[in-house]
Amino acid sequence: MPAHTLPSPVRLLATSGPGQPEASPELEQLYRSFERELLVPLWTEIGDLMPVHPKSKATPHLWRWENLVALAGRAGQIVPVGRGGERRALALANPSLGGKPYATPTLWAAIQYLMPGEDAPEHRHSQHAFRFIVEGEGVWTVVNGDSIRMSRGDFLPQSGWNWHSHHNAASAPMAWIDGLDIPFSCYTESQFFEFGRDQVAEAEKAKPERCRSERLWGYPGLRPVAQPEQLTATPLLAYRWANTDRALAEQLALEAEGHPATLSPGHAAVRYTNPTNGRDVLPTIRAEMHRVRAGAQTEVRREVGSSVYQVFDGSGTVTVGARAWMVARGDMFVVPSWVPFSARAEVPASAAGSLDLFRFGDAPIFEALHAQRVRIG
Q: How far is the CB of 99 from ligand 1HN (least distance, A)?
A: 17
Dihedrals φ, ψ of 236, to 5°? -85, 120
Give the rounded distance of the alpha carbon of 2 from its chain centre: 44
Angstrom distance (rounded) from CA 109 to CA 179:
5
Please, which residue, 125 or 149, has the CB nearer to ligand 1HN? 125
Q: How far is the CB of 118 from ligand 1HN (least distance, A)?
A: 12
Contacting residues toward ligand 1HN, per CB under 6 A: 86-87, 89, 110, 112, 125, 164, 178, 180, 182
Q: Could you tell me how many residues make up the chain?
A: 377
Contact by Cβ (8 Å): 90, 72: yes
Q: Is the dihedral of CA 52, 58, 330, 208 positive or negative?
A: negative
Helix (H) or strand (E) holding 35: helix 25-36
> What one-letter code names the amino acid at 234?
T
Which is nearer to ligand 1HN, 61 or 88 (by Cβ)? 88
Residue 351 near residue 67, CB atoms below 8 Å: no
Q: Which is nearer to ligand 1HN, 112 or 147 (CB)?
A: 112
Residue closer to ligand 1HN (CB basis): 180 or 292: 180
CB of 130 to ligand 1HN, least distance (A): 10
Find the shortest distance in angstroms from Cβ 266 to ligand 1HN: 35
Toward ligand 1HN, which CB reaches closer, 87 or 205?
87
Minimum distance, C-beta of residue 125 to ligand 1HN, in the bound complex (Å): 6
Cα separation, 312 vs 262, in Å, equals 19
Q: How far is the CB of 158 from ligand 1HN (least distance, A)?
A: 7
Query: How far apart are alpha carbons 93 and 120 in whole angstroms?
Result: 23
Minimum distance from residue 211 beta carbon to ligand 1HN (Å)? 16
Closest approach of Cβ 87 to ligand 1HN, in Å? Answer: 5
The residue number with the shortest CB distance to ligand 1HN is 178
Nearer to ligand 1HN, 87 or 223 (CB): 87
Between 180 and 345, name the residue whose CB sits nearer to ligand 1HN.
180
Whichever of 89 and 318 has its CB closer to ligand 1HN, that residue is 89
Residue 28 to residue 26: CA distance in whole angstroms: 5
Cβ–Cβ < 8 Å for 196, 123: yes
Long-range Cβ contacts of 352-355 (<8 Å, 24+ apart) = 352/294, 353/294, 353/313, 353/314, 353/315, 354/252, 354/291, 354/292, 354/293, 354/294, 354/313, 354/314, 355/291, 355/292, 355/294, 355/311, 355/313, 355/314, 355/315, 355/316
142/296 with CB nearer ligand 1HN: 142
Closest to 268 in 3D by CA, of 326, 314, 307: 314
What's the min distance (Å) between Cβ of 112 and ligand 1HN? 6
Given the complex with ligand 1HN, which of 31 and 176 has the nearer CB atom? Answer: 176
C-beta of 182: minimal distance to ligand 1HN in Å? 6
- Given a contact cutoff of 8 angstroms between Cβ atoms, the answer to whether 314 and 345 are in contact is yes
Residues 6+ apart with CB under 8 A from 47: none
* Rounded CA separation 153/244 (Å): 8
